[in-house]
Structure formats: C-alpha cells, structure tokens
Structure 1
Amino acid sequence: MEVLALASNSKLTGEISSSVCNLQFLQLLDLSNNGFSGFVPQCLGNFSNSLSILNLGINNLQGTIFSTFSKGNNLGYLNLNGNELEGKIPSSIINCAMLEVLDLGNNKIEDTFPYFLQTLPELHVLVVKSNKLHSFMNGPTTNDSFPKLWIFDISNNNLSGSLPTEYLYSLKALMVYDRNSIYMMARNYSQYDFSIRVTWKGFKTKFEKIQSTLGILDFSNNNFTGEIPKLLGKLNGL
C-alpha cells in the first residue's frame, strides 16, 4: 500500500494503531478531520523513508509529537494542527531536509521558539500558532535562516521581547513579489494539494490549496514590545 486517505469521516474514532507503521511503502497517510484520540504512535517518525505526506490534523490526539525523525526521510508535509498535543517540538525534525510545510498550530505545545527549524532548507510554511510558546524570541543563529519561508505564523502564544527584526532580513522569499504562481503539492504524489488554516482578513480560513504567491507574516497576540521595523517595507511578497 502506498496511499491511505481516510480524511473527513466523522465516525472514525479510537486510537491510531501502531500497525500502520508496518506499511513500509506508504507515501501518503491522511487521517485528518476525524475523531481519533489517544496517543500518536511514536513509530510514525521513522518507520518509512517513502512517506512524504503525513496529515493527522483536526483530531483529538494527545501526548507528545513523536520524538525521533529518521535521517534521510522524504517527509515534505507534516500537519498536526488542531489536536491536544503537549510537550516540546523535537529537534530531530531537522532530519526532515525535504520538509516544505510544518503545521503544529492549535495544540498545547509548551516550549521556547524552535530555533533549529531555521536550518530546514526547503521550508516554505511554518505554523506554530495558538500554543504555549514562551520567553524571548532572539534573532537567527545562522546566516541563511528560513531561506524559502513565505508563510510564518507564530500568533497567539506568549513570546516576548522586541519584534524579531533579524529574522526579517533572512526572509528572502518574502522580499520577492513576482514568484511563479503555483500550488504546492507533494513531489511524489501530485494528486494531493497541500492545505493550511490561517487567520486571513480577520477570519479563520482554510486554504484548500497553498498558492506560492500567498505571503503571510503573523506575529499577533504575543507580548512583543518596541518599534515596528521599517524593514517590513521591503517584504514585497506580503
């Protein structure tokens, strides 16, 4: 089996069996928008290098994010939005060198800002909104942080200090207005469009497709202080 898609079946409940990790050739696993509960099988982080799409969003899953992501994996889309996940964001996510979309929004993750994510070379979308991220948000620790990021949503947390101006210098993808208008989809499974939930013009909105020209920077509902940097004027892709 290469594809298992059971999204939006409201009567699917219970725990996700760890036996799904026996599907060594699985490329797509989408169990989103259901009533699954219990803990996320820890084996999902490293059971198959074939897996490129993992969507468990909008369920009632508890516990922590699987702590081990194997090196050399092919994961391009990871969506755990809208669950009850706690704990920290595992640093082993940096092993996901092909990751383009990471959506951990609307959970109960209690952590500092995950600086290690800035080294992901293909990351276009990062959503960690509506969690319990806290403390000061310092600037980047590398010279080439978030080189391809064009959707950056850290809203509704407890981050503090000055606005992270240094990151704005690194968002090269948001400085370009004339990006080619394409829809993001899996490299090895072109029938699956990437989707995202964000606040758009004051409303919680789900984009069924993510267009490459969609530029979002949302730092709202935190405890940032200081001035609004003039550098925002250079982000022509917003």
Structure 2
Amino acid sequence: MAPLLQYLRKEVLDLRRNKNNGILPYWLGTLLELQVLVLRFNRFHGHTDTFKTKSKLHFPKLRIIDISYNEFTGLLPANYISRFEAMMNVDEHELKLKYMGDMYYKDYVVMILKGHEIEYSRILRVISIIDLSSNKFIGEILKSIGRLNSLRGLNLSHNNLKGHIPTSLGNLSKLESLDLSSNQLVGEIP
C-alpha cells in the first residue's frame, strides 16, 4: 500500500463502499494533512486505536470522519477524539467562504444525517462532522466530545453505548444534527 500513498490527496481519503476488511492500516496515521476520512460501508473491524502504536499522529486537521457501517468494537476512540483540534474553536470569519480543494479539483462528500444521504458538493472548511454509527462501540459517550465546539454533526446511533448523555454536549453550540438513537442510553437529555 505504501506506493499508493504518494498518489493520495492529502486532504481527503474516501474509501466508502468497498470491500476493505481487517483492522485500520497503520499508514492512515501518516497522513498529516488529512481533513476528511470516509470509510463507510466496509468491513473494517477491531478497535479503532489498533494502529496508534505504529504512529504517534492523531489527525490534528481532521474535520470530517465517517467510519459508519463497519464492525468496529470497543470503547469510542478517546485518544483521537480528544485531539481533533480542527473541530475546536474554529474562527468562522477567517474560513467563511473557503473550500477544500482548489479551482481545478472540487472535493465533495456524502454524509448520512438522520437516515438521509446529503451530498456536500463542495466542502466548506468550517464543516465538522463525526459519524461513528452502525458499529459495535460500547461504553459511555465521551465527555471530551463536548470540547469539539465547532462540530456541526454528530452521529453515534446504532451502537451499544450505555449510560447518561454527558452534559458537556451542551457546549456544542454549532451542532445542527445529533443522532444517538438505537443505543442503551438512560436518563434525561441534558
């Protein structure tokens, strides 16, 4: 796979709807400029932290991550989520009309929000979305997600998450879409 890396766009990696399986490849952590990672509808499995020992990188520029419809297990990936710096304190005035890609190549992404596919034909740099739905994650929703105050969409549905919804999610003032359905959550919505 290493020779392929020289040809990958460093901002966007979209491998959705393939038949990839196994654990996450270690070389994902070497993509320093990665802003969009879409691995939806594959057969990846295991813990999402499995390649951290080979790479100390934690996707500091990642703005969109969609690893839905795989077979990931274990706790939510706290080591990565807490380091998604590009989803924290985004200066929207600075990035207001800036898009990923350049004038010749237009990046786009298709996201599933509340069961509907929505295509972003051009990706504004202020868009931040996390979709970890339809996996086999367990445990509680991470309080550290509340630090991602520039997040626009969060989908943790169809997992085996338990416990209360953390009050820190109230810090997500830019949030437009939240899906926590089909888990085993208890208590009131904060």
* TM-score of the two chains, using structure 1 as the length reference: 0.56
Q: Which residue of 2 aligns with 1:183?
A: 99
Q: Does 1:192 align with 2:73?
A: no
Mapping for residues 80-99 of structure 1, pairs under 5 Å: 92-93=4-5, 95=6, 99=10
TM-score, length-normalised on structure 2? 0.70
Matched with 1:53 is none
Structure 2 gap ranges (5+): 152-190
**Which of the two has higher C-alpha Rg?**
1
Secondary structure of the structure 1 residue equivalent to 2:21 = coil
3-state SS, counterpart of residue 133 of structure 1: strand
Contact 1:97 1:121 in 2 (8 A): no
Identity of aligned residues (%): 38
SS at match of 1:167: helix
Change (3 A) 1:68 1:120: closer
Contact conserved, 1:97 with 1:122, CA < 8 A, in 2?
Answer: no
Q: Which amino acid aligns with 2:115?
A: G
Is the aligned partner of 1:145 residue 2:145? no
Match of 2:117 among 204, 209, 234: 204
CA contact (8 A) 2:100 2:124 kept: yes
In structure 2, what is the equivalent of residue 220 of structure 1? Answer: 133
1:116 aligns with 2:30: no
User: What is the 5 A alignment of 1:18-97?
Assistant: 67=1, 69=3, 92-93=4-5, 95=6
Distance 1:237 1:114, change over 3 A: farther
* Alpha-carbon contact 1:98-1:122 (below 8 Å) kept: no
Residue by residue over 1:207-230, the C-alpha shift from the partner in whole angstroms, topping out at 9 and shown as x without a partner, is: 110111110111110001011110
Over the aligned positions, Cα root-mean-square deviation in angstroms equals: 2.0
Higher RCO (C-alpha 8 Å, min separation 6): 2
1:206 counterpart SS class:
strand
Q: SS where residue 214 of structure 1 aligns?
A: coil
